[in-house]
Structure 1
Amino acid sequence: MEWKKCYLDVLLVPLSFMITIGYHIWLWYKVRNQPLSTIIGTNNHGRRLWVSTIMEDNDKKNILAVQTLRNTIMGATLMATTSILLCSGLAAVISSTYSVKKPINDSLYGAHGEFMVALKYVTLLLVFLASFMCHSLSIRFINQVNFLINCPPESTVTCDYVSELLEKAFTLNAVGNRLFYSALPLMLWIFGPVLVFVSSITMVPMLYHLDFVFGNSKKKDKMDEIANGV
C-alpha cells in the first residue's frame, strides 16, 4: 500500500524539478547569448555602465555608490536572515517526531511514511541552507565592491574588475532568490505531490514574464551585439 502511494511522489516531484531546472537552463542560455532580451542581462549591462560612471567621477559620486551598495547589502542580509531562520524552524520540526508526522497523516495524495516525511523536510532544509549560503557570499562580494569602487583612478583596480565582482554578487543573489522561490513547491510537498506539480507549472510562466524583456526584436538584437562587446 505504501509503494502505491509513492507512485505520485516518484512521478510528479521529479517532473516538477525537471520543469523548473529546464526553464533555468534555458534562461541561462538566453542570458549568455542574448543578454538584453532578459532582465538579468539588461541589469548586468546597466550595472557595468554604472560602475564605470562612478569610478570615472569618483570625487562627486562616491557617497552615492556607498549608499546604493549599502541598500543592496541590506536586501541580501534580509534574505539570508529569513533563510537561516526558516532553517532553524525546520531543524526544530525535524527533531520532533510527533511534529513531523502529525500534519502528514491527513494528506490525501502521496506517501507519508517515516522515510518520505524525513526526505521532504531534509530536502526543504537543504534548499534554505543553499539559499543562505548564496546570499552570504553575495554580501561578501558586495562588501569588496564597496571598498574597491572608491579607489583612485590611478590605482591598479580597474572598472572591469569591480564590475566583475559586482556581477558575481548579483548572480549569487539571484541564485539565492531562485532557491528561496523553489522552496514554495517543496513546502507544498508536505501536503502531497500534486500540489508540487501544480505550483511548478504555475511558477514557470510567472518567472518567464518577470525574466524577459518584451519589445522590438531587431532593436534587442543590435543591443545584444553592443552588450557582448562591452
Structure 2
Amino acid sequence: MLQVEPKDRGLSLTTINSTISASTFLATTSLALSSLIGTLLADSSHQKLFKNSLIYGNTSSYINSIKYITLLICFLVAFGSFLQCVRSFVHACFLISMPNAVIPMSYAQKAVIRGSACWSIGLRAIYYATVLLLWIFGPIPMFAGCLIMVLVLHLLDTNVTPLHQFEEDNKSCNVVTEIN
C-alpha cells in the first residue's frame, strides 16, 4: 500500500510531472512536424527542390512521397506514444496523491512502467525519424545516419554496471505493519 506521508511523495510527483511536461513538449513538436510534412505532401511545387545535384538516388515524385509518408508515420507514432505516456503518468500522479486512500502500490507501479514504456517508444520513433529525414537527401546519408544511430543507441542501452540489490528497510516495514 502507498503508506507514505504526503510530504515524502513530493519528489516522486515532481519527477513524474517533469516527465509529463517533457512528453507534452515532444508530442506537440511531433504533431507540428507531422503537419509540416502533410503540408509538403499536399504542395506539388516542392518537387523542384529534389532535382538538386547534391541529392543522390531516385528523386521521382513517387519515391519522395514514400519518404514523406514514412516520415509522417514516424512522427505520428511518436505523437501517439507521448500522449499515452502523459496519460499513464497523470494516472500515476493521481494514484500517488490520493489522500487517505488505500491503493495498492502495484497500481501506481503499473502506470509508471506503462508511461515509461510509451516514453521509450516515442523517443525511438523520433530517433528513427531522424534517420528517415536523412533518407530525403539520399541513401548514403541515411546509411551513415543508421550506423551512427546504432552505435549511439548501443552505447546508451548497454549497462556494464550491475544493478544494486535493494533490501527492505526493517524500520519502514515495521511502520507499515503497525499502520495496517
TM-score bucket (shorter structure): 0.7 to 0.9
Report the CA distance between 1:160 and its aligned residue. 1.3
Report the CA distance between 1:111 and its aligned residue. 0.8
The residue aligned with 1:69 is 16
The residue aligned with 2:135 is 189
Matches within 5 A, 1:75-94: 75-94=22-41
Q: Deviations over 1:75-113 (max 9, x none)?
A: 1011101101101111111111111x1222115421111
- 1:163 is aligned to 2:109: yes
Letter aligned with residue 169 of structure 1: G
How many aligned residue pairs are there?
Answer: 166
Do the aligned partners of residues 192 and 58 (structure 1) sit closer, same or farther apart at CA in structure 2, a change above 3 Å counting? same
Letter aligned with residue 170 of structure 1: S
Report the CA distance between 1:214 and its aligned residue. 1.9
Which residue of 75, 85, 88 maps to 1:141?
A: 88
Higher percent of residues as helix:
1
Higher RCO (Cα < 8 Å, 6 or more apart) = 1
Q: After TM superposition, which residue ranges in structure 1, 4 or more long, deviate above 6 angstroms? A: none
The residue aligned with 1:112 is 59
In the alignment, the residues of structure 2 paired with residue 200 and residue 58 of structure 1 have an alpha-carbon distance, to the nearest angstrom, of 48
The residue aligned with 1:172 is 118
Matches within 5 A, 1:1-230: 55-99=2-46, 101-106=47-52, 107-151=54-98, 155=102, 157-215=103-161, 219-220=162-163, 223=165
Q: Deviations over 1:33-75 (max 9, x none)?
A: xxxxxxxxxxxxxxxxxxx8xx332322233333222111101
Report the CA distance between 1:152 and its aligned residue. 5.1
In the alignment, the residues of structure 2 paired with residue 178 and residue 166 of structure 1 have an alpha-carbon distance, to the nearest angstrom, of 18
In the alignment, the residues of structure 2 paired with residue 193 and residue 103 of structure 1 have an alpha-carbon distance, to the nearest angstrom, of 17
The residue aligned with 1:37 is none
For structure 2, list consecutive stretches of 5 or more residues without a partner in the other structure: 168-180
Whether the aligned pair in 2 keeps the contact of 1:58 and 1:150 (CA below 8 Å) is no
Q: Deviations over 1:123-146 (max 9, x none)?
A: 101100010000001100111111
Report the CA distance between 1:153 and its aligned residue. 6.9
Q: Percent identity?
A: 28
RMSD of aligned Cα (Å) = 2.1
Report the CA distance between 1:204 and its aligned residue. 0.7
Letter aligned with residue 129 of structure 1: L
Whether the aligned pair in 2 keeps the contact of 1:58 and 1:152 (CA below 8 Å) is no
Q: Deviations over 1:168-190 (max 9, x none)?
A: 00110110011001111111111
